[in-house]
Amino acid sequence: MSGKKKNLSDFDQGSDIDASDVRVGVVVAEWNHDITSALLHGAVDTMKSFGVIDENIHVHYVPGSFELPMGAKLITASLQVDVVICLGCVIQGETRHFEFISNAVANGITQVGLDTNIPVVFGVLTTDNYQQAKDRAGGKHGNKGDEAGATAVKMAELKRKLHSKSK
């Protein structure tokens, strides 16, 4: 997935995975809505290409990226999901908000996953400007939402595989 690949959407499709019964929670930040809705489209389309069905994709919104970890935690507490995707876009401004929000979101998302044993995917763009975000939300550098969707399916699959071995 990483290494020499330049485009965010250049991932191994994992075509042998059947994700038709995978249940996914998606938390989307409303801040920079045009970017985050493009990420959402990418994530949903990609999950569907792995067989995830509409009824098993539960989308909820939070005001900004800072609220993504709490949104993810609320989802894990109230819905039966195998995996959660967080989608947001933090753009560098003139103040230090960018650093505080980016760090808090990355740490918070990690923590929710470790605390709940439910994988939480980091689908958050952190960019210098709006154009960089556009380029990564369905533009010339692909769509980070696609990557998040594929990661979610693969983490759900991994969890299921290891869980079945532990029985």
State both tokens at 15: 């075509």
35 interacts with ligand DLZ by CB under 6 A: no
| Residue pointed to by tokens 């994992």 | 14
65 interacts with ligand DLZ by CB under 6 A: yes
Helices (H), 8-166: 33-49, 68-78, 97-116, 130-135, 144-165
97 is a catalytic site residue: yes
Q: Note whether 148 and 57 are within 8 A (CB).
A: no
| 87: helix, strand or coil | strand
- Measured from the CB atom, the residue of 14 and 63 that comes closer to ligand DLZ is 63
In the set 58, 60, 97, 141, the catalytic residue is 97
Applying CB under 6 A, which part among 13-21, 62-70, 72-80, 144-152 lies near ligand DLZ? Answer: 62-70
State both tokens at 52: 């995830």
14 interacts with ligand DLZ by CB under 6 A: no
67 interacts with ligand DLZ by CB under 6 A: yes
64 interacts with ligand DLZ by CB under 6 A: yes
Burial 42-64 (b: 16+ CB within 10 A, else e): bbbebbebbebeeebbbeeebeb
32 interacts with ligand DLZ by CB under 6 A: yes
**Binding residue (CB under 6 A) for ligand DLZ from 78, 93, 128, 129:** 93
Residues 95-114 interacting with ligand DLZ (rule: CB under 6 A): 97, 101
How many positions of this chain bind ligand DLZ (CB under 6 A)? 15
- Measured from the CB atom, the residue of 90 and 155 that comes closer to ligand DLZ is 90
Burial grade of 128 (CB within 10 A; 0-12, 13-18, 19 or more): exposed
Catalytic positions, please? 97
Binding site for ligand DLZ (CB under 6 A): 29, 31-32, 63-67, 88-91, 93, 97, 101
